[in-house]
Every structure is written in structure tokens, then in C-alpha cells.
Amino acid sequence: MSLSIAKLSTGALVAVALSFGSIAGHAADAPSKADLKKHESSPGGKYQPRMDVLRDEKVEQPGSTPGMPTLSAADYQKANQIYFERCAGCHGVLRKGATGKPLTTKVTRENGFEYLRDFITYGSPGGMPNWGDGGGLSKAQIDMMAAYLLMDPAQPPEFGMKEIMATWKVHVPVNKRPSKQMNKLDLDNLFSVTLRDTGQIALIDGATKEITQIIDTGYAVHISRISASGRYLFVIGRDAKVNLIDMYMDPPTSVAEIKVGSEARSVETSKMKGWEDTYAIAGAYWPPQFVIMNGDDLKPRKVVSTRGMTVGTQEYHPEPRVAAIVGSHYHPDFLVNVKETGKVMMVDYSSLKALKITTIDAARFLHDGGFDSTGRYFMAAANASNIISVIDTKRRKLVKNITVGTTPHPGRGANFNHPKYGPVWATSHLGDETIALIGTDPDGHPQYAWKLVQSLEGQGGGSLFVKTHPKSKNLYVDTPLNPEAEVSSSIAVFDLNDPSKEYEVLPIGEWSGITEGVRRVVQGEYNFAGDEVWFSVWNSASQESAIVIVDDKTRKLKHVIRDKRLVTPTGKFNFYNTRKDVY
């Protein structure tokens, strides 16, 4: 096919003379049907970031390049939407590569239209899913995407202080707020529950199990974090909107909001002694940056870009996303996981005017993570590198990169005292059935510290979260992204007196009483007392979902919360456990 076509539209493409001879050449490299199926259904494949918010932002269409196709304005926007929704998570917003390969014009133009079209259609054994052949895109859409990739990449807008300020709203100023708690809520045993698809959170009382309030937050709301004093609840949406909710008001009220970018996933608050509630921080996927704000009204104070060099090969990365952020208990530091460069930025917030950042080389593709039981060591999962990086927050140093199973995904992980190895921290994996236990006690058990001391075998891959509690003898492992319905709707529970003992399966989906939908069971969360563990039964927005509560001692069903306001509940954040890093 000659690419010297001035303008292609979805319809027009069909009329373009395509050279099927060369396609046949590529088709010989196409993976087998069995492989295609594998890519479609792999848990890792399902769990890639979607830039759903950026997708809807209008971007300027790049000018045409001689010899290269160009799309009509309408098709360009359509292609752009598909790219942000389905491709940018792996290949990067600017197409410079992330966990997926770069798709710069240098690469795409070298390969040409037909190659791209085949590649998109069939995928590759390297992990790219097949988008054709029932993989989600029509032939016309694939042609459009092949042409789109030959054009210069779209450049979504930056979001600097001016844009951030323009979104900042204080609904109730600090001096108009109460000085003590005016409601009767038990703030230690309250849960903030993500209602993903309605862009809301539900506050649920731990004792009565009643929804006390629904609060509007950002789009496809992601996580909640609680300030060190327990007064403020921070919630972040995928649209990078942060809501600050004052839990002293009656009823609790969103007193301020702000947008820190176009796409985001993480928010945290200052936890160091003497700095409680002083600052909040939110990290963005786009633009690649984090923003430090006042803890009581979200006034933005400092915007810091994360663009820079990768660990190892030290190549420039133009869009390293901010993943998990934790607040240090040893220094006035935020620890910011920068995904694509593989660096943990320890941001000393004691002086915002002379910001000191200790940049630690960890491993590429940092995602989630949490503290060990002492709160000193940050265990960060570099998921696509199969590594847990251990950072000593006291000495501001990397302790070790530990290789675990395929695609670790701990959430914040789980800490317990192992009968043989002493204190350990656990993570499960998206890509295999194992649960990795890492020794975390360099003083009491130096021979096991920072080693993968045991690998338990769970129900299967597709796990996202593990959970236990200092008072519990159980370790719960979810598998919401496992392709088997029976596995994704149940939980494996291990006995911590003897972790090598066969796990028990709790049929949480069945216990919910809901019979429709996939009933994905996700993210265990303990109550304040540590004697109940709550699981979400996550169905699509048009179906019923629930929260199932298990009695931790007996592992028996204790209660089911079914309420029509409980739409797509996913993350649950007990106020006490979240603020004190109990997990």
C-alpha cells in the first residue's frame, strides 16, 4: 500500500489499495489462536491503566507529514479516544513506551501501515493483546489506529499551578468549621467505601453496618486516605480531583476540592510527628507530577514534575506516572513511587521553598506498596519487574531489591509474625498463584531479613490484595481478576500458625446472596477491633453489588450489606487502620 494518501477516513480506508502480499508475510508471524486467547484473558492484561479522563479531552490534531496518512478531524478524535482508553496505559500518553513498547513515529514509520495493522489485529506473544479477531476493535477501527500511529503523537495539555489554582474551591473555610467533633460517628470504626462507577464514597458505620452518608467525589473514584489526627478524609478520583472531607462537621462535609492534573490515582497526608494534618500530597498519571497542598484547605503549594531518567539504563522518560505515595513516620517525608523511571522520591516537606528530595534508585514500574509492621521500611512493588524494593525510611536508603513472583500486587501488603521466620510482609501476585513472604526483622531475625523466605500457593493468579491484622491469625488473599468465576468470587484464607497448611476457600460471592454478575470479590479490610474482615462483591454498575463481612475467628459469614446505593463498591478504608497504617 502506498501511504502517500493525503487523508484517510474510516470509510475511505476501505477504498485504499492495500498490498495483501506483505500482510501474508506478517501473518506467518501471527501468534496461534491459543496464544491470542491467553492475552485476552490474562489478569495482567486486564489490569492496565485506562486514561479514561484524558480520552475525553480535546487534543490538537498534529499537522500532516508528507507520505504519511492523515485522518479526518472526527476520525482523529475517535482514534485518540481509543488510544487513551486502551493503549496509553502500556505505551504511554506520548507513545514513548511504558510497560509496552514505544510507538514513536520512528518505530511505526519504519514498520509501516500493514505491519501495524497486523500487529494490532493479532497482538504478539510478548504480551500485546489481539485487538482484532474478537479482541474488541473492528477492522475499520484497526485501520484507523494503524493510520493514527503513523501520525505524530497527540500532546495532551500540561496542568501547572495556574490550571491547578483555577480548579481549587474552598466550600467551607477553616474558620467556619467546628473546633470539635459535632457528630456522633465512631470515627475509628467508620469505613470510607469507594463507589467506583458513581464517583462517590459511602461512609459505613462499623458497628451498625449502615450507610451513614453518600458523598460525591471525583470520576471513577480510586482511594481514600485519612489525616494523622483522624479529622480529615481525602478522596481522589481518576480525574485527579481531590475532595477534602471534614469529619468533625455534622454531617461530614466536603470542605474543599482541587484538581492536580488530568489523570491521577494517589493521595496521602503528612504523618510525621509535629506535622500531623499539615500537608496533603496527590500524584498524577498525567501530567507526570505531584502536588503538595495545605492539609486543611487543599491550597496548592508546590508542583513537582517527575520527568527524568530511568534507573539502570538512565534514559530520559517524558511521562513517568506517580503511583503509590506514603507518609514517612521517621522524617517529614513523602515517599513517591515514580512508576516508569523506577525511582522513589523521598520529598522532605519541612521546607517547601528549599525542597530537598532524596531520589532512590529502586526498580522500574513501581506501583503499590506499604510499610512493614514497624512502619520503618517501605515495601514497594515494581510490578512489571517482579521486584519488591525495600526502602529504609529512617536512613533514606534502598535496603534491597527482592525478586518475587510474576507481577506482585500487594495493595499495602500484610504483616504478621511467622512461626519460623519472625516478622514477615506478604504480597500476592497478578501473574501467578503464589504469595511471597519476605522477612522484615533485621535485628531479631537477621538471617531471614529482606529475603523471600516462603512462597505459599494460593488459588490462582489475578490477585490484587492480601490482608491480615495484628490481632488475627488469618491471612486473606483475593483473586478478583482470575479468569475462573469460582476463583474470582471467593477468597483463600491461610492459617498464620502454620502458613504452609492448605488454605480454606470462603465462597464470599455466594454468601452475598447475589446470583447475577461476575461477583468479583475484592480487597479485604478489617474493622477497628480486628475481629471482622469486610470484602466487596463487585459487580457492574447495572447489577447489584454487596459487602460481605466475615467473622475473623470462626471464618464464618457474619453480615451482608445490600443496599441499592452500594453501586460498584471496591476499596474500603477503615479510618483507624488506614490512618495508623495497620495492615
**Interacting residue ranges for ligand DHE, rule: CB under 6 A:** 47, 49-50, 194, 196, 222-223, 238, 265-266, 268, 323-325, 367-368, 411-412, 464, 522-523, 570-571
Rounded to a whole number of angstroms, the minimum distance from the CB of residue 141 to ligand DHE is 21
Tell me 385's DSSP state: G
- Rank residues 204 and 325 by Cβ distance to ligand DHE and give the closer one: 325
Compute the residue count for the chain. Answer: 583
Catalytic residue, chosen from 39, 409, 429, 445, is: 409
Minimum distance of ligand DHE from residue 175's CB (angstroms): 30
Listed in sequence order, the residues at least 6 apart from 240 whose beta carbon sits closer than 8 Å to its beta carbon are 53, 159, 218, 259, 260, 261, 262, 263, 264, 282, 284
Q: Which residues pair with 572 in a beta bridge?
A: 193
Of 69 and 480, the one with the shorter C-beta distance to ligand DHE is: 480
Do 98 and 90 contact (CB within 8 A), yes or no? yes
Q: Closer CB to ligand DHE, residue 203 or residue 324?
A: 324
CA distance 292 to 294: 7
SS3 content of the chain, % helix, strand, coil (to 5): 20, 35, 45
Q: How far apart are CA 42 and CA 47, in angstroms?
A: 9
User: What is the closest distance, in whole angstroms, from the C-beta atom of residue 321 to ligand DHE in the complex?
Assistant: 8
Catalytic residue, candidates 90, 145, 293, 346:
90
H or E element in which residue 170 lies: strand 169-170
Nearer to ligand DHE, 118 or 525 (CB): 525
Q: Which is nearer to ligand DHE, 311 or 323 (CB)?
A: 323
- Identify the three-state secondary structure at position 510: helix
Catalytic pick from 26, 329, 367, 418? 367
Residue tagged active-site, from 128, 144, 249, 345: 128
Q: What are the residues whose beta carbons fall under 8 Å from the beta carbon of 342, sequence distance 6 or more? A: 310, 311, 312, 361, 362, 363, 364, 365, 366, 382, 385
Q: How far is the CB of 479 from ligand DHE (least distance, A)?
A: 12
Integer Cα distance of 33 and 462 in angstroms? 22
Nearer to ligand DHE by C-beta: 70 or 539?
539
CA–CA separation, 503 and 108 (whole Å)? 48
Catalytic residue chosen out of the listed positions 26, 39, 51, 91: 91
Which CB, 121 or 488, lies closer to ligand DHE?
488
CB nearest ligand DHE: which residue? 571
Active site residue 87: yes
Q: What is the 3-state secondary structure (H, E, C) of 28-72?
A: CCCCCHHHHHHHHHCHHHHCCCCCHHHHCCCCCCCCCCCCCCCEC
Q: Residue 96 — left, alpha, or beta (φ > 0 → left; ψ -120 to 50 → alpha)?
A: alpha
**Catalytic-labelled residue, pool 51, 68, 87, 144:** 87
Residues linked to residue 317 through DSSP beta bridges, in sequence order: 308
At closest approach, how far in Å is the CB of 204 from ligand DHE? 15
Q: Is 429 a catalytic residue?
A: no
Smaller CB separation from ligand DHE, 50 or 562:
50
Is 367 assigned a catalytic role?
A: yes
Nearest to ligand DHE of 132, 461 (CB atom)? 461
Smallest gap from residue 194 Cβ to ligand DHE (A): 5
Q: Shortest distance, CB of residue 359 to ligand DHE, whole angstroms?
A: 18
Question: Among residues 190, 239, 248, which one has the least CA distance to residue 216?
Answer: 239
- β pairing state of 520-526 and 397-403: unpaired
Q: Name the residue among 248, 277, 111, 265 with its Cα closest to residue 187.
A: 248
Smallest gap from Cβ 378 to ligand DHE, in A, equals 11
Minimum distance, C-beta of residue 48 to ligand DHE, in the bound complex (Å): 6
Q: Among residues 303 and 379, whose Cβ is nearest to ligand DHE?
A: 379
Please confirm, yes or no, whether 1 is among the known catalytic residues. Answer: no
Let me know if 409 is a catalytic residue: yes
DSSP string over 531-582: SEEEEEEE--TTS--EEEEEETTTTEEEEEE--TT--SEEEEEEHHHHHTT-
User: Measured from the CB of residue 83, what is the shortest distance to ligand DHE in angstroms?
Assistant: 14
Least Cα distance to 217 among 250, 251, 258, 179 occurs for 258
The whole-angstrom separation of Cα 82 and Cα 51 is 10
Which residues neighbour 145 within 8 Å (Cβ) at sequence distance 6 or greater? 79, 82, 83, 87, 116, 120, 131, 137
Which residues are known to be catalytic?
87, 90-91, 128, 367, 409
